[in-house]
Amino acid sequence: MKDLEKKIIFVLIFFALVLIGKNINFSAVVGADSQFFTLFQFFGPIAGGFLGPLFGAISVFFAQLADFLIVGKEWQLLSLLRFLPMLLAVYYFGSKKKSLKLIVPLVCILLFIFHPIGKQAWVYAMFWWIPVLGVILPKKVPGKLLFRSFGATFTAHAVGSVLWLYTVPMTASQWIGLIPIVAYERFLFGAGIAVSFVVLNTVLDFVVDKLKLSDKVLFIDKKYVLTRLLKLKSA
């Protein structure tokens, strides 16, 4: 079996995991009826880490599309635009190119504070400096995985918030009131992404070793394989 065919198998596996995760609710979206953050937020971006930004985004896109069709949502531009936050989070987590990873949160900050309501709640957009820090900090800075994970979840948050700002009526006080809720939820999402990455990195390292897969099929970051870390500590 060729590397591309093997990669497609793992794309389908991630597709299934994402589809399952999207149907396990975590918390309600404030200001939206019958909309929830789900288990998907805790691991969705890591698809880009293992499959690369392109194939990771493909698996997440089609999982979101399948969920969209299963739920039977209406074909509206806004509904489709809501695919963007997680797709860009997948790109952020999986890509080594810095330009787009910097542009997205910075543009979101500008779009937010230039809006009449966003201008009054500008402090809300300060969350989106976190993805910027995740890019510009040196690789040797401790906790780089956490910055990468929080950068991914806050990239999704930035894009989703700007879409919400321009389409759903809310007051500045409501946006400011969301700040502690956002801090709590995104802390959990960011930590969940980091933990999920380490756990799946460890599992897939075993799979890659047993099946003799090349890095063209799956990328494994050896720094975050638990079994290897434990061996280093015991040595």
pLDDT in the model for residue 179: 95
Q: Which domain holds residue 113?
A: 3-234
Residue with tokens 């890591």: 46
Instruction: In whole angstroms, give the CA distance from residue 98 to residue 115.
Output: 27
Distances (CA, A) of 188 to 39, 41, 131, 197: 11, 9, 16, 14
Q: Residue range 110-137: average pLDDT?
A: 95
Name the domain count of the chain: 1
Residue 117 predicted with pLDDT over 90: yes
The pLDDT of residue 36 = 62
Average pLDDT on 138-160 reads 88
Residues in the chain: 235
* % pLDDT > 90, the chain: 43
- Give the pTM: 0.88
- In this structure, what are the phi and psi dihedrals at residue 83, rounded to the nearest 5 degrees? -75, -25
pLDDT, mean over the chain: 85
pLDDT at position 111 is 97
User: pLDDT category, 78, cuts 50, 70, 90?
Assistant: low
What value does the mean pLDDT take over residues 20-45? Answer: 70
d(CA 101, CA 168): 26
Say how far apart CA 24 and CA 20 lie, in whole Å: 7
CATH code of residue 225: 1.10.1760.20
